[in-house]
């Protein structure tokens, strides 16, 4: 998308008035309360990866509906005191990966939990967590699962899993509960925004080219999946437009971002065809806490890559 979204002068000011259901906050407070009541103690098993500088653990914690959600926990080896930690959410189609997929956060001295995304994990990294909840007829993919009812929508389960992942990490003796950040790119960035909104006391949010933002505009201008899953669904279900966008209003991370309070570091590729830059700025400009945006003018959905990782580590260190 070579600079065809908006002129940059408009992009940096773009803060749309997004739909806000009257019961949005009640919807989420009730969802989280109902599912917190089902939480059990996480199961943590140390595993041998052959790595000598990282201690790794196979973690299972309670997600939405009490469903078991898998994750990897990586810690710097031979550290005895509780650590600051980062909960990382996967991009669309990915899972927690293999136990050797260690994040730069752990190499920099942080604990790191890599959460599986239920039902995903077969597109570019592997996953181990099924989604046992059924749904009405959908377009292939995850974007339209249960899309006619916010209570049945797929991302209600995913956002709840993501919140409960942070709360599970906070209970671990090897982690500082007041120093748990959230991070991710694309889908993981959108999930990080949602968690920062639903848990305003998270330590920090690292949000790279977030997906799940400004749904109406995204479906009108994006020319790549996954937003086009919704477009193709509506091409068939012509009578579902109002119901679809009514449901999506409960999950728009750009709208939820107004509730967030943690400091946040964003990034955006200005030639991104998957998460159009205006939808990223919709979230950034509405974000309720201190924030910083890093732009990569000539990059698509790969964003800043290693250049951004360097900035993230320096930024997190500045918050300590």
Asked if residue 241 belongs to a domain, the reply is no
Q: Is residue 197 part of a domain?
A: yes
How does strand 68-76 pair with strand 291-296? unpaired
CB 104 within 8 A of CB 313: yes
pLDDT of the residue at 2 = 56
- Look at residue 215 and tell me if it is in a domain: yes
pLDDT for 224-239, tens place per residue? 999 999 999 999 999 9
Beta strand spans in 17-82 (E): 43-47, 54-62, 68-76
Per the domain annotation, does 89 fall within a domain?
yes
Say how far apart CA 255 and CA 278 lie, in whole Å. Answer: 14
Instruction: Place 210 in a pLDDT band, splitting at 50, 70 and 90.
Output: very high
In a domain, 97, yes or no: yes
Cα distances (angstroms) measured from residue 168 to each of 90, 115, 159: 18, 11, 14
**Phi, then psi, of 246 in degrees rounded to 5:** -65, -45
Note the pLDDT of residue 151.
Answer: 97
Q: What is the mean pLDDT of residues 161-178?
A: 97
* pLDDT recorded at residue 238: 97
Phi-psi group of 3: left, alpha or beta (phi > 0 → left; psi -120 to 50 → alpha; rest → beta) = left
Active-site positions read 186, 272, 301
Rounded mean pLDDT of 147-152? 97
In a domain, 40, yes or no: yes
Report yes or no on 274 lying in a domain: yes
- The tens digit of pLDDT for each residue in 284-316 reads 999 999 999 999 999 999 999 999 999 999 999
Q: Residue 186 in 3-state DSSP? A: coil
Tell me the average pLDDT across 149-175.
98
Instruction: Calculate the alpha carbon distances from 71 to 57, 63, 115, 184 in Å.
Output: 8, 11, 4, 15
Mean pLDDT, residues 188-208 taken together: 98
Residue 234, both tokens: 């509506």
3-state percent breakdown (helix, strand, coil) of the chain, nearest 5: 35, 20, 45
209 part of a folded domain: yes
Q: What is the pLDDT of residue 134?
A: 77
User: How much is the mean pLDDT over the chain?
Assistant: 96
In angstroms, how far is CA 204 from the centroid of its own chain?
13
Reported as a single tens digit per residue, the pLDDT across 109-124 is 999 999 999 999 999 9
Domain that holds residue 73: 8-134+158-221+254-319
Instruction: Give the pLDDT of residue 103.
Output: 95
pTM above 0.95, yes or no: yes
Q: How much is the pLDDT for 27? A: 98
Confidence of residue 138 (pLDDT cuts 50, 70, 90): confident
Q: pLDDT tens digit string along 61-83?
A: 999 999 999 999 999 999 989 99
Domain count, the chain: 1
User: Peptide bond preceding 284: is omega within 30 degrees of 0, i.e. cis?
Assistant: no
Q: Please, which pLDDT band fits residue 136 given cuts at 50, 70 and 90?
A: confident
pLDDT tens, position by position, 239-293? 999 999 999 999 999 999 999 999 999 999 999 999 999 999 999 999 999 999 9
Give the domain CATH number at 172. 3.40.50.1820
């Amino acid at each position: 998308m070579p600079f065809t979204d908006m002129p940059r002068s408009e992009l940096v000011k773009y803060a749309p008035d997004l739909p806000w259901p009257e019961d949005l906050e009640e919807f989420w407070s009730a969802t989280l309360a109902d599912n917190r009541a089902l939480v059990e103690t996480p199961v943590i098993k140390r595993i041998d990866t052959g790595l000598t500088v990282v201690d790794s653990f196979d973690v299972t914690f309670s997600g939405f509906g009490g469903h078991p959600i898998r994750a990897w926990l990586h810690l710097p080896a031979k550290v005895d005191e509780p650590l600051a930690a980062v909960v990382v959410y996967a991009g669309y189609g990915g899972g927690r990966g293999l136990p050797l997929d260690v994040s730069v956060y752990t190499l920099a001295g942080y604990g790191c939990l890599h959460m599986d995304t239920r039902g995903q994990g077969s597109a570019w990294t592997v996953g181990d967590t099924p989604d046992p909840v059924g749904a009405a007829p959908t377009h292939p993919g995850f974007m339209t699962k249960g899309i006619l009812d916010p209570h049945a929508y797929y991302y209600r389960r995913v956002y709840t899993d993501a919140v409960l992942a942070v709360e599970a990490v906070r209970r671990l003796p090897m982690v500082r509960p007041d120093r748990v950040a959230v991070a991710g790119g694309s889908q993981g960035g959108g999930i990080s925004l949602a968690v920062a909104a639903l848990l305003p006391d998270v330590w920090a949010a690292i949000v790279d080219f977030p997906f799940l933002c400004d749904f109406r505009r995204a479906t009108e201008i994006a020319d790549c999946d996954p937003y086009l899953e919704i477009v193709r669904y509506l091409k068939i279900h012509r009578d579902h437009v109002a119901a679809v966008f009514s449901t999506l209003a409960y999950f728009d991370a750009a709208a939820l971002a107004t509730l967030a309070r943690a400091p946040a570091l964003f990034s955006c590729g200005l030639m991104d065809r998957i998460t159009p830059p205006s939808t990223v700025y919709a979230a950034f400009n509405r974000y309720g806490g201190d924030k910083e945006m890093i732009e990569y003018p000539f990059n698509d959905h790969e964003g800043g890559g290693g250049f951004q990782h360097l900035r993230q580590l320096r930024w997190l260190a500045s918050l300590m």
